[in-house]
Amino acid sequence: MSPENEPVETGESATMRIALIGALDTKGEEYAFLKDEIEELGHIAVLIDVGVLGDPTLAADVSREAVAESQGASIEHLQQAGERGAGMRVMAGGAAEVVADLVGKGAVGGVLAVGGSNAAYIMARVSEALPVGLPKVLVSTMASGDTRPYVGSTDLTMMNSIVDINGLNRITRPVLRNAVGAVVGMASEWFGGASDARSADEAPVVAISMFGVTTACASQLAQHLQAHADPLSFHANGAGGRALEALVRRGQVQAVADMTTTELADELFGGVCSAGPDRLTAAGAAGVPQVVSLGALDMVNFGARASVPAHLEGRLFYEHNPDVTLMRTNEEECAQLGALLARRLNDAEGPCAVVIPTRGVSMISVAGAPFHHPAADAALIESLRADLNPDVHVTTHDTDINDPIVADTISTLVVDHLKKGHHV
């Protein structure tokens, strides 16, 4: 369970160690092929067994017993229990712990797994435990469907196996060979020290939320912050918000410029861009400074017009493009959003501020635009201000969110927080 650290120099190139995570009872043939391919390229495969059914057909460097024991369980107990789901949770947690430990010691520089939904589930949990930039590759039929449960907020690379992983054939051989080439190629960058995650001198990270209708504000904000921080922009489409929250929880973000909080509207009112019920909570719980605004709270997102639920007929809609239909939030919904935003800010353990533009929270809610609705905007703002604790700093601008003064105010507040935290 403790391969030697550091790549081994062999002539002109370094020998790298790639972790192979798989069920060696049912996928031994495929993992033997992957191991041979890695070794033919002059590198070392570190086999980690997560099988719980029959006997392994291939020797592992980290046994399934060791993986289970890392979670306080035993293979015998998992087999006797006969609960596949419980066994997968144990082995996924064990694999994540084992691989994270190996990566932390510099013992492996890439991770590869192949298989069906169980392999995808385990690889998803492993990916969550690893730093951004560390190569993570999964070959699975699950890559051709909804990949959100597996990719989540990580940089996992998924390859479609086309056919199921059930032996070697004219389809699986080239696909698996390409997967080896991909992870080895990416690992060469990781071992070469190119990963920003391992840089001791990186600037503080500021997370920015943005949407198409708030792009002008987000672009100016990123430009203003570049002199002081490394700004990361997250598309507020659900996946982006989840990624933002996850990076904050992992301690990889020093401040948040959450100027586009539209995912809250989708969570409350059934849109397709919800980031889940925990959106806008990670920074507050971690004490990370945050500056928040009302970007795109004038809308709820749906797919093509035909996909909009029938009970919403009669509402005001706007076709952003043939695949995206926006619904204007009404006064009652805006009041609910203002109250929710206030609760999230009031619960924050760290410093927070809110910047309020009074003449439009997106490019399509300004005067003359399709979603211009002053009464709804007023309900949003009044509800927010009524419920905010007095220690939450409030700045109001009599303009719309994409006016340069809004971005300037947000960036100034963020930089002030970074300076107080001695990050700049």
| Tens-digit pLDDT string for the chain (424 aa) | 444 434 433 333 457 999 999 999 999 999 999 999 999 999 999 999 999 988 999 999 999 999 999 999 999 888 887 667 788 899 999 999 999 999 999 899 999 999 999 999 999 999 999 998 999 999 999 999 889 889 988 999 999 999 999 899 999 999 999 999 999 999 988 876 544 444 445 789 999 999 999 999 999 999 999 999 999 999 999 989 999 999 999 898 999 999 999 999 999 999 999 999 999 999 999 999 999 999 999 999 999 999 999 999 999 999 998 999 999 999 999 999 999 999 999 999 999 999 999 999 999 999 999 999 999 999 999 999 999 999 999 999 999 999 999 999 999 999 999 998 856 6
49 by DSSP, 3-state: which? strand
Residue 204: which of 235, 223, 220, 225 has the closest Cα?
A: 225
Indicate if 181 and 56 belong to the same structural domain.
Answer: yes
DSSP E strand boundaries for 247-351: 255-258, 290-292, 299-302, 317-321, 324-328
Indicate if 341 and 398 belong to the same structural domain.
Answer: yes
Domain harbouring 283, CATH code:
3.40.50.12030
Domain harbouring 16, CATH code:
3.40.50.12020
Indicate if 91 and 207 belong to the same structural domain.
Answer: no
Q: What are 417's two structure tokens?
A: 């927080």
Q: What are 65's two structure tokens?
A: 């017993």
Boundaries of domain holding 176? 8-191
Indicate if 163 and 310 belong to the same structural domain.
Answer: no
Which amino acid makes up residue 9? E
Indicate if 25 and 174 belong to the same structural domain.
Answer: yes
Q: What are 30's two structure tokens?
A: 């495929």
Report the number of distinct structural domains present in the chain.
Answer: 2
Indicate if 145 and 245 belong to the same structural domain.
Answer: no
Contact 400, 373 (CB under 8 A): no
CA distance 356 to 186: 43
Indicate if 362 and 337 belong to the same structural domain.
Answer: yes
Global confidence as pTM: 0.77
The continuous run of DSSP H or E covering 355 comes out as strand 352-357
Answer whether residue 55 is part of any domain.
yes
Indicate if 176 and 235 belong to the same structural domain.
Answer: no
Indicate if 119 and 212 belong to the same structural domain.
Answer: no
Answer whether residue 70 is part of any domain.
yes
Residue appearing with tokens 């504000």: 217
